[in-house]
Chains A and B, each alone.
Chain A
Amino acid sequence: MEPLTSKKKVLEQKPLTLAERMYLPAIVKGLSVTISHIFKKEATIRYPEQEREFSTNFRGMHSLKRDEQGRERCTACGLCALSCPAEAITMIAAERKQEEKELYREEKYAAVYEINMLRCIFCGLCEEACPKEAIYLDGPIVPADYLRKDFIYGKDKLVEQPLNNNK
């Protein structure tokens, strides 16, 4: 076939010299390369004990935030569930009672808030949709588990621990 371009490069293959055909120098060279790797630093990170540093915009497990007074910010508006492309979020709203003023910031709050971690794709759209800055994907990697039902995280796992500094 006629070459379409003039870029064709003709490779010249010389017959092997005696030293090359003996193959032993090449083997010795290879052995020295591999042995030098014994003295190099290993790339392994022993995972559960050591962890690699996450990048600043890493999106991990969700956490439901509290405000400065330790009240839950979420008002159960449902925008996060609406924006979720994987339909991983469900919630049941409830009205705040008078004595619960210390617990919830808004008059309406999420009585049940569940995220199915097997459906979640960690896109971060819930974080963007939230008008109350209540949900952030700033946690660690979601751990493995044995049963599907154990991947549905409720408020017990999602809500941030209350701050203790005002005590």
Chain B
Amino acid sequence: MGTSVFYFVATFSVIFSLMVIFSKNPVHSVLYLILTFFTFTVHYILLNAQFLAVVNFIVYMGAIMVLFLFVLMLLNLNKDNEPLKSNMVKIVGVIAGCCLVVTLVGSLKATAISDPVVLKNPNLGLLKNLGKELFGPFMLPFELSSILLLTAMVGAVLLTKKEKA
């Protein structure tokens, strides 16, 4: 049953992520992205990682995407006032796209079907175990990443401050 649910949800993940790219209206794109994140949440639950699922739910769906939507709603989307790009930009874009395709094809060729990941401890995703892992062996990276986020925050505040002339 687990596998069939996985394939069911995975199909939706792929469909929604494609819709993110293909929808013309940026707001629709963001809404599809939210749905994609929701399917990810379901994946986490299937992997028995409840904490990660809920945090993905709160942080990505509940906070970050709200901010995305927030910004996009302020744009005037009814008019097609997107400035025409110069030929130079188009050529660069084509080259970049081709590079991406080549890389993707190459990496797809290189991959083999990997064995399904079997966790040694299936309850690793539960709250207590995750906390013990994070504050035990992974203490240093965890704290470093928090400092990184703090730095980013301070930087953002500094950017908004007006310079005193």
CB–CB under 8 A between A and B in the complex? no
